[in-house]
Structure 1
Amino acid sequence: MKGKRQQFANPKEAHQEGIYLIPQEPLIFPHMTIEENICIGLKGNRKKLKVKVQQLIDSLSWDIDLNEQGGSLSIAQQQLVEIIRGLIRDAEILILDEPTSTLTTHEIKSLFVLMKSLQEKGIGMIYITHRFPEIFEISNKVAILRDGTIVSQGDVGDYTYDMLMEGLLPKGYKQKEKREIVQETERTKKILEVKNLTSQTFGNISFTVHAGEIVGIAGIVGSGRTELAEAIFGLKAIKSGSILLEGKAIDTCSLHNRLSEGLVYVPEDRARNGIFSIVSVKENVTAACLQYNNRFFINREKESALVKSFIEKFRIVVPSMNEELTSLSGGNQQKVVLAKYLACNPKIIILDEPTRGIDAKARLEVYETIEKMKREGLAILFISSDVEEIVQLANRVYVMRNGQFVSHLEKEQISVEEVTRLAYGGVTE
């Protein structure tokens, strides 16, 4: 740092040298106010700090009350708190780990404007992302990291999209060609049917998902997609409407009964809802099902065989199934989450942002896993703010905006341009 070799024993030492990390998974204290979350550990006049915080919030065009509790924030808002927490400390080097993974287009643009302003003031930034367009938009230089090693680095102008992808993938790994139209599936067996579902955050939602079909729900953050998924799974209350699983009403069923009936939900926030971070990979995979149990005891042999099969099937990189989950990369953690719910032998799986915060190689592997699930006859409800992956994977797409379905697209109607236009306010033709 400034010509001097440094090795920091803890984050405090790095902060003292002007280095601050904005982590991928937000670290928010739910029972503290937003202001307290941002200013925690800072010394100085509280009124002056609050003014500075408010100025940063205004520069991001963020309409929020600093007195609100941290636990009331969405993931996108939590990420913004992390960004402001780093900026208020006047770091000389900011390390931003996937800072835009859950931000809207407007929020991303505001962040980039702020980053360029900070750059002009002499602040250096390390920007970690799997979103290639952002690299070309915001970066001066680029370094490609694969398996813990920098395999290439240089001026960003010397690279193309294909060069970045090639650098991330192992030799001999061929990227699957993107299909203009996803192969149509026979809609012979209706698995999930939602009729006029209404809650406080969305209204009159109706759709179906068939066996062996991927139905995409596209929309920006805040459009109501996650709330819809949570309502279907029984995590959010509904005002009216019905949910049918193979023709059987489940809208009054408990979470346990929905799971036993074959409905599973993989949440967008894997750190909070999808994993048990301090237990082993094996325990995480088998946490949601009891098929490996005898009446009173866990059958360890069946448990290990089940976990081993998923490690091989999903190519989970882990030294041992007894390894603590926190030691795995984000991509491998997400594979463990998928394995956890697929171990229940579901009829339909709801995937909410399944590739959030994972690298390009892991994304391709998750895509392949999802398509394999489809070929095996699983019904899949696929929620994503990444329009390209919705277009690539889905047989049909519903576009959601302000708590409403604004369009239903099929076959040749589905394109990045059309889905984006509808998600951001375009009129249905």
Structure 2
Amino acid sequence: MDSPRLPRRLLLSVVSFLALASLSTGLTQGASASAADRAADSTARPAATARPAKAAAVTFSDEFDGAAGSAVNGSKWQIETGDNVNNHERQYYTAGNSNAALDGQGHLVITARRENPNNYQCWYGRCEYTSARLNTSGKFTTTYGRVEARMKVPRGQGMWPAFWMLGNDIGQVGWPNSGEIDIMENVGFEPSTVHGTLHGPGYSGSGGIGAGYSLPGGQAFADAYHTFAVDWSPNAITWSVDGTVYQRRTPADLGGRQWVFNKPFFVILNLAVGGYWPGDPDGSTSFPQQLLVDYVRVSTDGGQPAGGAITGVGGKCVDVAGGNNANGTAVQLYDCNGSAAQQWSVGSDGTIRALGKCLDVASGGTADGTLVQLWDCNGSAAQQWAVPAARDIVNPQADKCLDATGGSSANGTRLQIWTCTGAANQKWTVTR
């Protein structure tokens, strides 16, 4: 069921982040973290399952542990402020922990209140409600993987909780060209139903491509926690609720329109009040209302090939320094230890991936000695690799080989590109 609404576009506070050019920065070399893969959820699932049967490398997680009343982790989330005229929503999104705080029991609580303690002004005049909206822009993005949250939604006419993603290039290309993936939306007049929707050029707003999922027997989503997820791979996105798949979308569903979902996206959580789609609160709506979030997790098991080790000179493994998936993290040699930082998948799209990101030639360089790093997958030539039978790993743009600097096999040796020589420090064994 298509979501009959106008775009929930970003507030100005985040667009400034997105307009900044990415800067490639090398991180300090360091020892790889020990194995830290999260095992796949062992809960029994129907035959049509959203989760591949392999261990997942968790690339982003917030379990919302912390003292009651404390604000969200600022290294993971930014808080947007202001109103939203695009959908004629009624709330003002506040900063700090006024409307988004931890409850001390492992949950984030986003609270919508009928109040205006600071004389906030909205598109319609003096604001009537406050709430909160969080996103990971400038802090975390992902291309593909499993993106999930366990949540308990509010209830009542006019309530509009959402868990969704926007293309990280929104500051450059605008909406809807950036793409939007709505993992879960619920409107108060449909207490038993949630919606998952894609928005892009030519299929945005009420023309989005999606479907609804309803609980059996008239149960309400506000009565209990439920897990909402997408499993996202190149040219395919699958939605599930509590492990039950209810739709899968591919470019074939777009009728020739552009698929804009093979690039980095960031994550958003918010609780809106009122708007074109849910309608405004009425006399039946009680306040405050709360969106309770048990966790948000992003992992690499979204349909990419299973990962394996890449070994080189001295029998050492290609390793993401410190197991860190931040852009610019060094890629190095290190003792093989089986950790997620050493699990690499070689995709049919020419990429080599670990921890949800791509092996990347820094700044798209082509000169001998240009270091390689981990970076958001973006489809550039800097992230294209050929893996011929001769055991070279070649970046075709530079026509150079992946190379262990100085021929060294010491732990922490940085990897770079260099003119192909056939030397031992340019020979790699890829486990597929």
Higher relative contact order, structure no. (Cα contacts within 8 Å, ≥ 6 residues apart): 2
TM-score of the aligned structures, taking structure 1 as reference length: 0.26
Structure having the higher helix fraction is 1
TM-score of the aligned structures, taking structure 2 as reference length: 0.26
Structure having the higher strand fraction is 2
